[in-house]
Each structure stands twice: as structure tokens, then as C-alpha cells.
């Protein structure tokens, strides 16, 4: 039993995780004729919970309840993984990335997120405002403006060879490269 | 009708649980992995995204070739998102800016919260607010 737990605590290599994620495309279609995607739940949430008269939120969100089950499942899956993960994540990062992040001032590379940035103590600081509030806002605004996120466009859309999804994915990378190479050093230094 | 809805909802709940476990176990939810990806210093994330698209593409070809039906016996509908290059590109860039800062896209946000990173709840609420703001200004921005 202990051996099984130790085995389960290992990370999944890319060549297992990637194909498994890809299988969600046919599973979504076969189970309920749905296109794989996650960010539309943000819209359904607004439609269901926020009383606002805007055409973008005026539709029958009850037909999309399945998507709340899916993201609720992701949350539960995240919790269940705590039983089959190491005490502390020590991600096997490239040594160049480790050196670069240390140079930028991130000393603690344990865990899934840098603890120096992602903690409740930073909530009411400029750093917290930029990392949590503006970061989240850009994700929510951008994904709906682009009409999809990494799952809906980059996985589902590119699997369909859809030009709109290719443009959106190129956009995701342009934005990510700008944040990483132009803003990150400044954001961390705050 | 009611019965099949419950079946479908529970099925997507189970798919979500599996997806959450895969996201964490593959380290896709790691802020550090996203930094490594945008610095082109590891193949890990590219391998995951690339092989996921490959499997998704092959699966769709097979579903079409053998005219596979849904579990309810319906014809499968493939709905590619409409091409609106301005919104796809500008929205995509804004999303990417946030993706690299937070180190997570929408799916990983839920997984991270479930995994015990409660501060990500603030990010998720901001993302919902961002979506709300989009709904408000939608008619005033280029599409």
C-alpha cells in the first residue's frame, strides 16, 4: 500500500498528461455533445448570480448547469490530489529558469506558487493588487473577449483546426511573452 | 429528460475531478512551469499542450469517420468558434498578459483553490469581475 502511495506521489510526465487531457475533447462530445472549454463558466456565473440587464448575460444559464458540475469537479479533484502529492512540491524546473527566478528575487521555489507573492498578507499591497486583482481581471476579461481560453481555443479549437482559435492562441502567447519578459521583473520587485 | 440531465451532470462532475487531478499531477497549475514555458526553457508545457491537441485532433477525425453518436444517440455537433480576428487577437493578448502574471488559466484556478491555495479565490473573483466588465463594455470595443 505504502509503495502505491509513494508511486502516486510522483508527478505525471508530459507524454501521459498531454494525451489524457486531449481525450477530454472526444469525452465532452460523446457524453453530452459539448465542446471542451472552461472559461464560459465565468459568463454563466455572472448570468446566474449577478442581477444585470445586459444582452451578454441574458440567456438561459440553466442549460449550462453541466459546466458548473465540471468546474466543481476540478475543485474537488484539486482537493483529492492533496492525498497523493508530496508534502511540498519541488518542481523539477530547468536550471536556467531557477537561476533567472532567483535573480529576480524569488528565493523560495517550493510549492505550486511562489509563496513570497501569493499570500494573504500581500492582498492589500500594490503587489497583491497587480498579481491577484489585475491578473485575474485580465484573465476574465480577455478570455471572454477572445471567446475562449486555453482549453476552449488552444485544445478544443486547435483540434478542430479552427483559424479563430489559432489567432487567439497566438494572442495568448504574445500577451504571456510581454508579461514575462517586460513586466515580471518589475512586478516581483514591488 | 430529467433523468438524462442528472446522468450528464454527474458525468461532467467525474470528468472535472479527473481533470483537476491531472492538472495538478502534471504540474500544469504551477506558476513556475508557466514561467519556464514563456522563457522557452523546458519542453514540459509544450509537450503537454502539443500532445493534447494531437490526441484531440485524431479523436475528432475518428468520431467523424465512423459517424460516432453521443451516448443519447444524437449526432455529434462540431461547433468551431466564429472567426473575429480583432476580438480573438486583442482578447487573446489580454488573456495572455493575465495568464503569465497569475501563472494559471481558468481551469487551474479551480484546481489550485481545491488544492489549498485559498488566495487564488481572489484571482477567481477578479476574473468573474473581468467577465462582468466585458459584458458591460462589449458593444463599445472592436470585434
- pLDDT tens digits, A135-181: 999 999 999 999 999 999 999 999 999 999 999 999 999 999 999 99
What is the rounded average pLDDT of the residues A11-35?
Answer: 97
B3 pLDDT band, cuts 50/70/90, is: low
Q: Please name which of B105, B86, B99 lies closest in space to residue A177, comparing C-alpha atoms.
A: B99
Share the mean pLDDT of chain A: 95
**Residue-wise pLDDT tens digits, B48-59:** 999 999 999 999
How far away is chain B from the Cα of A181, in angstroms, using its nearest Cα?
A: 8
CA distances from B46 to A16, A23, A148, B54 (A): 13, 17, 19, 12
Minimal-distance CA residue of chain A relative to B24: A78
A161–B57 CB contact, under 8 Å: yes
DSSP state of B69: B
pTM for the model stands at 0.96
> Whole-angstrom Cα distance, residue A168 to residue B88?
5
| pLDDT tens readout for residues B26-44 | 999 999 999 999 999 999 9
Question: Using CB atoms, which residue from B20, B42, B48 is nearest to A74?
Answer: B20
Alpha carbon B120 to chain centroid, angstroms = 17
Distance between A172 CA and the closest CA of chain B, angstroms: 4
* Cα three-residue angle A61-B89-A37, rounded to 5 degrees: 35
CA distance B85 to chain A (A): 7
pLDDT, average across residues A4-28: 94
B83 CB neighbours in chain A (<8 A) are 162-164, 167
Model pLDDT for residues B127-140, shown as the tens digit of each residue: 999 999 999 999 99
CA angle A134–B106–B97, rounded 5-degree value = 40
pLDDT for B58: 98
Task: Report how far apart the first and last C-alpha atoms of chain A are (Å, whole number).
Answer: 47
Task: For the beta carbon of residue A87, count every other beta carbon within 10 angstroms.
Answer: 7
Asked if B101's CB is within 8 angstroms of A134's CB, the reply is yes
Whether the Cβ atoms of residue B134 and residue A140 lie closer than 8 Å to each other: yes
Q: Please tell me the distance in Å from B83's CA to the nearest CA on chain A.
A: 4
A72-97: average pLDDT: 95
Residue B121: exposure state from Cβ atoms within 10 A (0-12, 13-18, ≥19): middle
Q: How many residue pairs from chains A and B have C-beta atoms closer than 8 A?
A: 508
pLDDT band for A7, please (50, 70, 90 cuts): confident
How big is chain B, counted in residues?
A: 143
- Do B83 and A167 lie within an 8 Å CB cutoff? yes
Q: Is the pLDDT of residue A65 over 70?
A: yes
Cβ–Cβ < 8 Å for A40, A152:
yes
Looking up cell 430529467, which residue turns up? Answer: B2
What is the predicted pLDDT for the residue at B2? Answer: 52
Separation CA A169–CA B7 (nearest Å): 33
Q: Which of A44, A184, B117, B46 is nearest to B108 (CA)?
A: B117
How many angstroms separate the Cα of B137 from the Cα of each of A146, A168, B132?
14, 20, 9
- Quick one: pLDDT at residue B1? 47
Residue B24, pLDDT above cutoff 50: yes
Amino acid at each position: 500500500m505504502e509503495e502505491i502511495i509513494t508511486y502516486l506521489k510522483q508527478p505525471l510526465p508530459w507524454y501521459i498528461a498531454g494525451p489524457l487531457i486531449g481525450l477530454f475533447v472526444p469525452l465532452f462530445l460523446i457524453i453530452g455533445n459539448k465542446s471542451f472549454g472552461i472559461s464560459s463558466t465565468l459568463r454563466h456565473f455572472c448570468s446566474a448570480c449577478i442581477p444585470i440587464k445586459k444582452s451578454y448575460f441574458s440567456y438561459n444559464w440553466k442549460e449550462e448547469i453541466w459546466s458548473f458540475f465540471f468546474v466543481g469537479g476540478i475543485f474537488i479533484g484539486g482537493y483529492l490530489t492533496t492525498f497523493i502529492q508530496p508534502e511540498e512540491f519541488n518542481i523539477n524546473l530547468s536550471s536556467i529558469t531557477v537561476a533567472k527566478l532567483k535573480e529576480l528575487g524569488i528565493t523560495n521555489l517550493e510549492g505550486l506558487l511562489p509563496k513570497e507573492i501569493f499570500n494573504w498578507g500581500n492582498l492589500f499591497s500594490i503587489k497583491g493588487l497587480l498579481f491577484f486583482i489585475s491578473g485575474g481581471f485580465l484573465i476574465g476579461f480577455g478570455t471572454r473577449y477572445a471567446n475562449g481560453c486555453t482549453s476552449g481555443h488552444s485544445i478544443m479549437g486547435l483540434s478542430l483546426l479552427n483559424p479563430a482559435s489559432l489567432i487567439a492562441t497566438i494572442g495568448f502567447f504574445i500577451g504571456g511573452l510581454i508579461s514575462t519578459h517586460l513586466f515580471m521583473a518589475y512586478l516581483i520587485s514591488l | 429528460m430529467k433523468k438524462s440531465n442528472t446522468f450528464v451532470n454527474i458525468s461532467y462532475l467525474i470528468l472535472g475531478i479527473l481533470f483537476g487531478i491531472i492538472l495538478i499531477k502534471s504540474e500544469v497549475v504551477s506558476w513556475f512551469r508557466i514561467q519556464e514555458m514563456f522563457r522557452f526553457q523546458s519542453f514540459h508545457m509544450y509537450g503537454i499542450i502539443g500532445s493534447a491537441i494531437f490526441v484531440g485532433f485524431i479523436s475528432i477525425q475518428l468520431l467523424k469517420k465512423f459517424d460516432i453518436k453521443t451516448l443519447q444517440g444524437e449526432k455529434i455537433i462540431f461547433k468551431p468558434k466564429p472567426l473575429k480576428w480583432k476580438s480573438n487577437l486583442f482578447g487573446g493578448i489580454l488573456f495572455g498578459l493575465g495568464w503569465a502574471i497569475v501563472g494559471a488559466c481558468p481551469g487551474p484556478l479551480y484546481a489550485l483553490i481545491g488544492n489549498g491555495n485559498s488566495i487564488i479565490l481572489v484571482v477567481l473573483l477578479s476574473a468573474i469581475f473581468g467577465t462582468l466588465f466585458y459584458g458591460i463594455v462589449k458593444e463599445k470595443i472592436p470585434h
